[in-house]
């Protein structure tokens, strides 16, 4: 009886290993490649020289004055350590980091309120998008750093409008802009 149960368990293990370890992953990968090939390949973004510069699905660390900045990241934009900080509204550490970010951004605020997505990290720390307000908030800093005149500054606003992605299926989320794609287009100006 023990040998029979053991044999049944080994057969079940072999069958489930084949189904769950080979058949199912190959089926899902095949469907993804056919239906969503760009996303299944990682949505790699290339520059004008054909070099891979990142993924449209992951935030990149931009801190130069000439670039749009993404949302802050609790994991410093590292994909392995992606996660929220888990700091609650009463956390002194969270308040200190938000105050530090607010002070750094206040220099470019020109009296405008600072958008929340430039002060608070996203849940994953890898959100590739910012709000339209966050992009517009950064225009003065970027224009000054790049030496743009009023006409080029207007082009930055037009670029923001052009690159705005509306809410998904017009019901989920808010209008947003992919920071990596926006920065690549800004470099072309």
Residue pLDDT tens, the chain, 189 long: 667 888 999 999 999 999 999 999 999 999 988 888 777 777 888 887 888 888 878 878 877 889 998 888 777 777 666 666 677 778 888 888 888 888 888 776 667 788 888 888 877 777 888 999 999 999 988 999 999 999 989 999 999 999 998 988 878 888 899 999 999 889 888
Residues 51 and 34 reside in one and the same domain? no
Same domain, 55 and 29: no
Let me know whether 145 and 169 are in one domain: yes
Q: What is the pLDDT of residue 61?
A: 81
Tokens 């990241």 locate to 73
| In a shared domain, residues 114 and 160 | yes
Based on the domain organization, do 142 and 169 belong to the same domain? yes
**Claim to verify: residue 122 and residue 159 sit in the same structural domain:** yes
Range of the domain at 8: 1-41
Judgement on whether residues 74 and 142 belong to the same structural domain of the protein = yes
User: Which class for 59: exposed (0-12), middle (13-18), buried (19 or more C-beta within 10 A)?
Assistant: buried
> Residue 164's pLDDT is what?
93
Same domain, 98 and 71: yes
Distances in whole angstroms, Cα of residue 1 to Cα of each of 15, 127, 143:
21, 56, 80
Which of 10, 26, 41 marks a domain boundary? 41
Q: Where are the beta strands (DSSP E) in 105-154?
A: 129-131
Same domain, 62 and 89: yes
Verify that 26 and 54 share a domain, yes or no. no
pLDDT of residue 82: 63
Total structural domains within the chain? 2
Residues 161 and 80 in one domain: yes
């Amino acid at each position: 009886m023990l040998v029979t149960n053991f044999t049944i368990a080994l057969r079940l293990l072999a069958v489930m290993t084949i189904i769950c370890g080979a058949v199912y992953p190959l089926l899902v990968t095949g469907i993804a490649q056919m239906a969503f090939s760009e996303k299944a390949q990682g949505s790699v973004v290339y520059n004008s020289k054909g070099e891979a510069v990142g993924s449209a699905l992951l935030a990149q660390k931009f801190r130069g004055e000439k670039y749009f900045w993404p949302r802050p990241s609790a994991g410093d934009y590292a994909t392995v350590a992606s996660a929220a900080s888990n700091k609650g509204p009463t956390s002194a550490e969270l308040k200190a980091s938000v105050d530090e970010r607010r002070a750094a951004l206040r220099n470019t605020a020109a009296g405008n309120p600072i958008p929340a997505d430039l002060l608070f990290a996203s849940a994953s720390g890898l959100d590739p998008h910012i709000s339209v307000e966050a992009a517009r908030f950064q225009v003065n800093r970027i224009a000054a750093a790049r030496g743009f005149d009023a006409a080029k500054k207007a082009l930055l606003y037009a670029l923001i409008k052009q690159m705005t992605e509306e809410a998904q299926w017009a019901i989920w989320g808010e209008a947003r802009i992919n920071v990596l794609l926006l920065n690549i287009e800004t470099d072309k100006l």
